[in-house]
Amino acid sequence: MPIIAKGSNNTDYEKTPLGTQQAICVFVEDIGTQEGSYMGESIRNRQVVICWELAETMVEGENAGKPFMITKFYTLSLNEKANLRKDLESWRGKPFTLDELAGFDLEKLKMANCLLNIVEAKTQAGKTYPKIAAISPLLKNMDKLVSINSNPPEWIQKKREESVEWQEKNKTIDNNEPFNEPIIEDGLPF
């Protein structure tokens, strides 16, 4: 009897709409220091994940009526070359001041509305996925979205557990406390 292997074309999910989409930031999650590589070199970067709900809702299956969600990973840095800084300045519609660059509380992003430009990107393996190409403020007089999600996706906790901090903590302490170091609050407005 033949054993047949097939390529994975996992399209069992509804595709995120492309183009300009109204969205609301629903989660800003610190996932700790993640290990990776850049140009063949091993690197470690403290990362955050920002999650948005889109105005557009799914129409198929068990998720019908629920808003699409999209996320973006960032190195936790406001360096002038950092993607986080570029996206936040684009979203705000103005550059950060020197005082703001001394420390900006990302928790202020939660429930902030924006417009996302979502494009289709390809992995090295050729799979396509939705990617946030740009973030901009809402147009004047646009109605703001209200979030319906109250809990971050489960995969975020799994990412935290991959962090250097989580791994080091669990080498010496055998418990199941989640790594959830808070971002320092400094009272700056978004």
DSSP assignment of 113-179: EEEEEEEEEE-TTS-EEEEEEEEEPPPTTPPPP-----S--HHHHHHHHTSHHHHHHHHH----PPP
* Residue 174 clears pLDDT 70, i.e. is over it: no
H helix or E strand, kind and range, residue 146: none
Q: Which of 71, 54, 75 is nearest to 63 (CA)?
A: 54
Residue 19: closest CA among 77, 90, 68, 88: 68
Confidence (pLDDT) at 12? 61
Residue type, 29: E
Would you place residue 190 in the very low, low, confident or very high pLDDT band (cuts 50, 70, 90)?
Answer: low
Q: Is 171's pLDDT higher than 80?
A: no
Q: Which tens digit of pLDDT belongs to each residue from 100-113?
A: 999 999 999 999 99
Mean of all residue pLDDT scores within the chain = 86
Question: To which H or E segment does residue 80 belong?
Answer: none
> Among the listed ranges 112-121, 124-133, 177-186, which one has the minimum average pLDDT value?
177-186
pTM recorded for the entire structure: 0.79
